Chains A and B, each alone.
Chain A
Amino acid sequence: MEATPSLFVQILFAVCALVTVISAAVVVFSGRILHSAFALFFTFCGVAALYVFLFADFLAVTQVLIYVGGILILIIFGLLLTQRIMDLRFTDQSHQRIRSVLLAVVFAAVLIGVMAGTPWRIAYQPDTPTVEILGVSMLTQFLVPFEMASMLLLVALIGAVWLARVKRKFDE
Chain B
Amino acid sequence: MNNLTIYLTIGVILFVLGLVAVLTSKNLVKILMGVELILNASGLNFIAFSRFVTGNLDGQLAALFIIVVAASEAAVALAIILNFYRQLRSIDVNLADSLRG
Complex alpha-carbon distance, A24 and B54, angstroms: 28
Residues of chain B within 8 A (CB-CB) of A74 are 74-75, 78
Whether the pair B43, A137 counts as a contact (CB closer than 8 A) is no
Residues 92-126 of A, flagged 1 when their CB comes within 8 A of B and 0 if not, give: 11111100110111011001100110001111110
| Residue of A56, A112, A161, A163 with highest tally of chain B CB at under 10 A | A56
A71-B36, A75-B32 known; A55 vs B12 contact (CB < 8 Å): no
Residues 127-170 of A, flagged 1 when their CB comes within 8 A of B and 0 if not, give: 00010011001100010010001001101110111111000000
Residues of chain A within 8 A (CB-CB) of B47 are 51, 54, 56, 59
Question: How many chain-A residues does the 8 Å CB contact rule pick out?
Answer: 79
Complex alpha-carbon distance, A25 and B20, angstroms: 10
Residues of chain B within 8 A (CB-CB) of A71 are 36, 70-71, 74
Give chain A interface residues in 12-70, CB to chain B under 8 Å: 17, 20-21, 24-25, 27-28, 33, 36-37, 40, 43-44, 47, 50-51, 54-56, 58-59, 62-63, 66-67, 70
A28-B17, A95-B24, A120-B53 known; A78 vs B30 contact (CB < 8 Å): no
Kindly state whether residue A77 has any CB partner on chain B within 8 Å. yes
A43-B40, A81-B85, A116-B5 known; A56 vs B76 contact (CB < 8 Å): no
A24-B17, A67-B36, A82-B81 known; A59 vs B64 contact (CB < 8 Å): yes
A78-B78, A149-B65 known; A163 vs B57 contact (CB < 8 Å): no
B68 contact from A92, A134, A149, Cβ within 8 A:
A149
Residues of chain A within 8 A (CB-CB) of B3 are 2
Q: From residue B22, how far is it (CB to closest CB) to chain A in Å? A: 9
Whether the pair A56, B60 counts as a contact (CB closer than 8 A) is yes
Residues of chain B within 8 A (CB-CB) of A111 are 12, 15-16
Residues on B close to A: CB < 8 A? 2-10, 12-21, 23-30, 32-34, 36-37, 40, 43-44, 47-48, 50-58, 60-61, 63-65, 67-76, 78-83, 85, 90-91
**What are 11 residue pairs bridging A and B, where the CB atoms are less than 8 Å apart in the complex?**
A21-B13, A24-B37, A28-B18, A56-B50, A67-B70, A70-B71, A71-B71, A100-B19, A124-B52, A142-B61, A163-B76
Other CB < 8 Å A-B pairs besides A43-B37, A105-B16, 7 of them? A28-B17, A28-B18, A67-B67, A104-B20, A108-B12, A123-B53, A125-B52
